[in-house]
Chain A
Amino acid sequence: MSENATSEEIIICQDVCKWFGEFQALKDCSLRVRAQEVVVIIGPSGSGKSTFIRCINRLEEHQAGDIIVDGIPLTRDVRNIEQIRSETGMVFQQFNLFPHLTVLENITLAPIQVRKMHKDEAHETAMALLNRVGIPEQADKHPGQLSGGQQQRVAIARSLAMSPKIMLFDEPTSALDPEMIKEVLDVMQELAETGMTMLVVTHEMGFAREVADRIVFMDAGEIMEVGTPEHFFTNAQHERTKLFLSQIL
């Protein structure tokens, strides 16, 4: 049970397996993330990175192994699922903002509906968050009127509005035009500096090198190698890792 885990290990994944039909997407993936740690997951496409972090907030159901988030075991228990989801924020590749709501409504929806926050309070928090991601002037626009980079920053603000303990990023910059990538990475870096626990799937090696505490390399559904950025970029052990890094750098 969770009591056995050290209190500061906020995410514990042990031998997580996941199949899509016949295809095994995750093979015995084990990873422990400490509170305030920033872990970047890299690997070739189709290696199961996204599936792995989507298992952590139950967007995908893992079929074997254990996942414990902040001491809450992730099982079929709907209460646990709800708790874990309200403690983890997620940022998607395609932003997934709600197009029929304004930016402000996007951010306040969940606090009002799930946290039962008062409207004015939610409003205030949302404006503070928009200030933090640098686009307070866009509050009353609809997502369709914003650039990709702005949309992604709204998406980050939306997740933060639920005051999560953990933020999951699923390739947050992959759908962006090159000139907008930096504005999103800056927000993420600022977030990391405030001590947010972050699990980031990305192809941005610069970000990984600078911000990550640890880097995880995945290939073919397996976690091949885990280490500090320094270790990775100078002294990678695994052949696959070296190959991948040589291709991407």
Chain B
Amino acid sequence: MTTAADTSLDRSVMPPSERRTLLGWMRRNLFSDLLNSALTVVAAAVVFLVALLLLRWALTTAQWGVIPANFNLIMRGQYPAEEAWRLWLALYLLGGVIGLMWRLISGKFSTAALIVFLIPLALREVPLFSWMTRFHLLVVAGAGAGAFYLGAYLPIQRSVRAAVYVLLGYLVVMLVILRGYSGDAGPMPTVTTILWGGLLLSLLLAFFGITLSFPLGVALALGRQSKLPAIRIISVTYIEFIRGVPLISLLFMGQVMLQLFLPDGFPLVDRVLRALVAIILFSAAYTAENVRGGLQSISRGQYEAAQALGLSTYRTTMHIILPQALRAVIPVLVGQFISLFKDTTLVALVGLFDLLGIARTITANPDWLGTQQEVFVVVALLFWIFSYTMSYASRRIEQRLGVGER
């Protein structure tokens, strides 16, 4: 056990074995006293038992055959196999867009960039993937690297704004590629959204949900901070209403009632879009609350300095307040994105075939009866990998920024 006197000793006086060896470490962190030793023994026994049971299940009982057999379903739902190249095309472009955005925002090739670049290459090692998939992944990585290097020669000013435009442009192009434009035949036949499914749909819903809800959320946050009472009241009412009801009720309402709100003869909104609308309306209220946190962290002095320089309210907001507020809440927004990503599973309850919806159809398939454990474990792990990676990355960035600034 260390006491106050010990710590004050000079490091060189301590016997090196106390500090560095495994045994010394174990003594300090696992067996520092009787109670701790007992806890360690019990905990180790429990961990061992659980690990043993899990391993036994995974290696003997589990029928893993269900996963490769339904691999395409899990990844892209009913999206027709002969059109799957379009998904890869969208991914190539995504690789390129990320490379270009990296160039536009940071301009430097850093460790983080290397890691992002390595993701598609690492994915090639997944044993389930065919050689074709591996080739595609290689192209994605290549597109990213290429766009990053070529981006330096493009006549575009380096700025976050340019990066946002690139991203928005990509979203439109991607939607056209996925949905198609040429009707039943032609080069890109239409694939109705109800066929979109699996991981593809989950990611799309989360991504579009957060992107499209963002402007509305920021506007609501600004409205809530406004000096004008009417605007404040409207914003608060919206935010509190949405935050007070479960997402599932909004999703159901979107499915049954959205069409009712629209005028007669308005084209039928498809089920995916109806769910997306509900998700956007839902997410905006949470974005608003998170952004409000950032707005509140900005001192009055910033507003006053901007006013004293003669900046209008609009310019103050766009150039002084929002850049600082949004930067302050990036980690929170990542957290919100993760929870939205998890929340997209709720669309399975309104008849969409996202990752969870597909999993439910697979387990209901007579060929694969009784495989609930295997399928849901894989689904949970897929969600876990995405969510955990994002939260880990954001924590690292936060730490990095925290060190860099002060």
Q: Which residues of A contact B (CB under 8 A)?
A: 57-59, 82, 85-86, 88-90, 92, 94, 96-100, 109-110, 113-114, 144, 155, 158-159, 162, 168
Taking the complex as formed, is B270 at the interface, i.e. its CB lies under 8 A from any CB of chain A?
Answer: no
**Nearest B residue to A85, CB-CB:** B310
| Contact present for A94 and B324 (CB under 8 Å) | no
| Contact present for B302 and A110 (CB under 8 Å) | no
**Nearest B residue to A86, CB-CB:** B310
| Contact present for A92 and B301 (CB under 8 Å) | yes
| Contact present for A110 and B311 (CB under 8 Å) | yes
The answer, among A58, A99, A100, A162, for a CB contact under 8 Å with B309, is A162
B contact patch SS: helix
Taking the complex as formed, is B56 at the interface, i.e. its CB lies under 8 A from any CB of chain A?
Answer: no
| Contact present for B309 and A92 (CB under 8 Å) | no
Q: How far is the CA of A144 from the CA of B401 in the complex (A)?
A: 13
Q: In chain B between 267 and 313, which residues have their CB closer than 8 angstroms to a CB of chain A?
A: 299, 301-302, 304-312
| Contact present for A85 and B324 (CB under 8 Å) | no
| Contact present for B324 and A159 (CB under 8 Å) | no
**B211, chain A: closest CB distance, angstroms:** 23
Taking the complex as formed, is B395 at the interface, i.e. its CB lies under 8 A from any CB of chain A?
Answer: no
Contacts of A114 in B (CB 8 A): 309-312, 315
Given contact pairs A59-B307, A144-B405, A113 touches B324 in the complex (Cβ within 8 A): no
Contacts of B310 in A (CB 8 A): 82, 85-86, 110, 114, 162
27 A-B contact pairs sorted by A residue (CB < 8 Å): A57-B307, A57-B308, A58-B307, A59-B304, A59-B307, A59-B308, A82-B310, A85-B307, A85-B308, A85-B309, A88-B308, A89-B308, A90-B304, A90-B308, A94-B299, A96-B301, A96-B302, A98-B305, A98-B306, A100-B327, A109-B319, A110-B310, A113-B315, A114-B309, A114-B315, A155-B305, A159-B308
Contacts of A162 in B (CB 8 A): 309-310
Given contact pairs A89-B308, A113-B315, A159-B309, A98 touches B406 in the complex (Cβ within 8 A): no
Contacts of A168 in B (CB 8 A): 308
Q: Which residues of B contact A (CB under 8 A)?
A: 299, 301-302, 304-312, 315, 319-320, 323-324, 327, 405-406
Q: How far is the CA of A110 from the CA of B301 in the complex (A)?
A: 16
| Contact present for A97 and B305 (CB under 8 Å) | yes
**B227, chain A: closest CB distance, angstroms:** 12
**A210, chain B: closest CB distance, angstroms:** 26
The answer, among A92, A99, A155, for a CB contact under 8 Å with B324, is A99
**A70, chain B: closest CB distance, angstroms:** 14
Q: How far is the CA of A114 from the CA of B315 in the complex (A)?
A: 9
Q: How far is the CA of A59 from the CA of B324 in the complex (A)?
A: 21
**Nearest A residue to B324, CB-CB:** A100
Q: How far is the CA of A88 from the CA of B299 in the complex (A)?
A: 22
Known: A88-B308, A109-B309, A159-B309. 19 other contacts (CB 8 A): A57-B308, A59-B308, A82-B310, A85-B308, A85-B309, A85-B310, A89-B308, A89-B309, A90-B304, A90-B305, A100-B323, A109-B311, A110-B310, A113-B311, A113-B319, A114-B310, A114-B311, A114-B315, A158-B309
Contacts of B323 in A (CB 8 A): 100
Given contact pairs A99-B324, A100-B323, A144-B405, A110 touches B309 in the complex (Cβ within 8 A): yes
| Contact present for B309 and A96 (CB under 8 Å) | no
**Nearest A residue to B309, CB-CB:** A110
Q: How far is the CA of A59 from the CA of B319 in the complex (A)?
A: 19
- 8 closest Cβ pairs, A-B complex: A96-B305, A86-B310, A96-B301, A90-B308, A110-B309, A85-B310, A114-B310, A100-B323
**A58, chain B: closest CB distance, angstroms:** 8
